[in-house]
């Protein structure tokens, strides 16, 4: 009969992976419903969101401001969808990294164009409330080596 | 040593989330293989599927009929793919809600067009056989506020 | 109070599903970072990767060679993203099957085209190191019945 504490450790690893996947799955609905504070709340207090071609935002107010900015508001008005791909999660105790794609589709009056297709590397940490994003690096997959590097293992 | 009943409760929460994610992951393969009954079986007996721009279907026979209808059959003949995004799952005991994207790609003879990009809010309930969809609301992300609202938290 | 061995069996089923989902989630980042050996390592030693329109590769060296080949290298240089959809996993003890979509987006200088949209059926087995892909069948969703069949249940 397995010891309950061994089971608890296995369960916690699954819970951690589930919490991280859930956190990342909340980005798209928050972005596409225009919930700037909801996006910012996925990040840790001092979290950084570095968006390919749009500089780096640090802290929840700056991240919320990015989502409340002209570019994102115009996307919402045009009709947009932020699709996240599955993430490869590497868990290391109280921190983790996750690698995966994000795509932005925009309505063109007839169908939808993929106007951004990006690589993402998420850095995450266990915090009081569960897990939070400490840094998200994003880069367009337009042939640039730097974008490919974000997706590389290790 | 953690009590086994506390472990069982944590395990059950993970199982519920897994079952809900699995249920939603089965929509695409069922739709794209032309398995109308398979799509209908994801819904509870009196489940409702409200598709943006195509009205509302209630009950498994009506949902199967929608998938056996002209629009879907033509999509299958043209070459199509129903891609679901990750879902943000909010579990509340024996019911749950899930929010995420769905995209339909159609072969145009050269590559694939994103001909539908939609917001979805799924309502789910625990039933005898596991979990079932009690209602799925779907709306095109073409700039309409109603579509964005489906993705909003709470 | 639930018996610990019953809990362990439920936990193991969740761990298996998580391991399989994780394995498949690692395909995209490996492919898009040009990590041919990383892609090959997802497969069992004698694993087969049958890509629609590109024949069949058996064994890790052959699979790595496919990823190091002209077609894939040109895609990487152009700017590409291999997006995997969610998978419907059917677990059967020490083997499993998973069904889902894969999409390849390519930068065209202005936005991204969906240049491949495919059905996939993954066959997996429990091996010493965890889980591995024993066979992946892939076919373009361009209206061909064979592609639709890969996504069918059972």
Subunit contact C105:A103, Cβ cutoff 8 A:
yes
Mean pLDDT, range B72-99, rounded to an integer:
97
Mean pLDDT, range C67-84, rounded to an integer:
97
Subunit contact B101:A28, Cβ cutoff 8 A:
yes
Per DSSP (E only), the strands in B9-69 are 43-50, 56-58
Subunit contact C85:B4, Cβ cutoff 8 A:
no
Given phi > 0 = left and psi -120 to 50 = alpha, else beta, which region is A110?
A: alpha
Which of C20, C111, C122 to mutate: most A Cβ within 10 Å?
C111
Per-residue pLDDT for C94 more than 70? yes
User: Cβ distance A86 to C25 under 8 Å?
Assistant: yes
Mean pLDDT, range C135-147, rounded to an integer:
97
- The pLDDT of residue A52 is 84
DSSP state of A152: S
What count of residues does chain C have? 154
- The pLDDT of residue A58 is 98
Is the CA virtual torsion C63, C67, C68, C72 positive or negative?
positive
Mean pLDDT, range A35-50, rounded to an integer:
98
Per-residue pLDDT for C62 more than 60? yes
Per-residue pLDDT for C1 more than 70? no
Percent of chain A with pLDDT over 70: 99
- The pLDDT of residue C53 is 79
- From chain B, the residues in CB contact with A5 under 8 A are 1-2
C100, containing H or E segment: strand C95-107
- The pLDDT of residue A54 is 83
Task: Please tell me which of the candidates B83, B140, B148 has its beta carbon nearest to residue A32.
Answer: B148
Residue of A nearest to C8 (CA): A7
- From chain A, the residues in CB contact with B90 under 8 A are none
User: Cβ distance B147 to B130 under 8 Å?
Assistant: no
Residue of A nearest to C115 (CA): A114
Mean pLDDT, range B90-111, rounded to an integer:
98
Residue of C nearest to A120 (CA): C29
- The pLDDT of residue B12 is 97
**Distance (Å) from the C-alpha of residue A97 to the closest C-alpha of chain C?**
13
Question: B57-79, pLDDT tens digit by residue?
Answer: 999 999 999 999 999 999 999 99
Subunit contact A144:C86, Cβ cutoff 8 A:
no
Mean pLDDT, range C128-139, rounded to an integer:
96
Give CA–CA dist B76/C52, Å, rounded: 18
Mean pLDDT, range C144-151, rounded to an integer:
97
What count of residues does chain B have? 154
Q: Please, what is the average pLDDT of chain A?
A: 96
- From chain B, the residues in CB contact with A28 under 8 A are 85-86, 88, 100-101, 151
Per-residue pLDDT for B1 more than 60? no
Question: A55-75, pLDDT tens digit by residue?
Answer: 899 999 999 999 999 999 999
Helix C4-25 vs helix B4-25: crossing angle, to nearest 10: 40
Task: Please tell me which of the candidates A1, A89, A151 has its beta carbon nearest to residue C32.
Answer: A151
Question: A70-95, pLDDT tens digit by residue?
Answer: 999 999 999 999 999 999 999 999 99
Per-residue pLDDT for C142 more than 60? yes
Per-residue pLDDT for A4 more than 90? no
Give CA–CA dist C147/A124, Å, rounded: 38
Per-residue pLDDT for B82 more than 90? yes
- From chain B, the residues in CB contact with A21 under 8 A are 86
Residue of A nearest to C74 (CA): A143
SS3 content of chain C, % helix, strand, coil (to 5): 35, 40, 25
pLDDT band, very low/low/confident/very high, at B2 (cuts 50, 70, 90): low
pLDDT band, very low/low/confident/very high, at B51 (cuts 50, 70, 90): very high
- The pLDDT of residue B53 is 79
Question: B24-38, pLDDT tens digit by residue?
Answer: 999 999 999 999 999
Mean pLDDT, range A17-46, rounded to an integer:
98
Residue of A nearest to B86 (CA): A25
- The pLDDT of residue A2 is 66
Contacts of A82 (CB under 8 A, 6+ apart): A27, A28, A31, A32, A102, A103, A104
**Distance (Å) from the C-alpha of residue C31 to the closest C-alpha of chain B?**
20
Question: C116-132, pLDDT tens digit by residue?
Answer: 999 999 999 999 989 99
Question: A131-142, pLDDT tens digit by residue?
Answer: 999 999 999 999
Mean pLDDT, range C78-98, rounded to an integer:
98
User: Cβ distance C13 to C67 under 8 Å?
Assistant: no
- The pLDDT of residue C2 is 66
Q: Which residue(s) pair with A140 in the sheet? A: A118
Give CA–CA dist A11/A127, Å, rounded: 18
pLDDT band, very low/low/confident/very high, at A28 (cuts 50, 70, 90): very high
Give CA–CA dist B38/C151, Å, rounded: 12
**Distance (Å) from the C-alpha of residue B48 to the closest C-alpha of chain A?**
22
């Amino acid at each position: 009969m397995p010891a309950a504490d061994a089971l608890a450790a296995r369960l916690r690893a699954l819970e951690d992976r589930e919490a991280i996947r859930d956190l990342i799955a909340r980005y798209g609905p928050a972005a596409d419903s225009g919930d700037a504070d909801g996006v910012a709340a996925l990040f840790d207090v001092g979290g950084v969101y570095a968006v390919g071609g749009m500089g780096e935002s640090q802290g929840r107010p700056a991240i919320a401001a990015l989502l409340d900015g002209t570019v994102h508001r115009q996307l919402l008005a045009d009709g947009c969808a932020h699709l996240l791909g599955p993430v490869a999660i590497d868990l290391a105790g109280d921190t983790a990294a996750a690698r995966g794609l994000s795509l932005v589709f925009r309505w063109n009056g007839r169908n939808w164009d993929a106007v951004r297709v990006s690589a993402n590397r998420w850095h995450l940490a266990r915090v009081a409330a569960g897990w939070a994003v400490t840094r998200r690096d994003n880069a367009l997959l337009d042939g640039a080596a730097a974008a490919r590097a974000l997706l590389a293992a290790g």
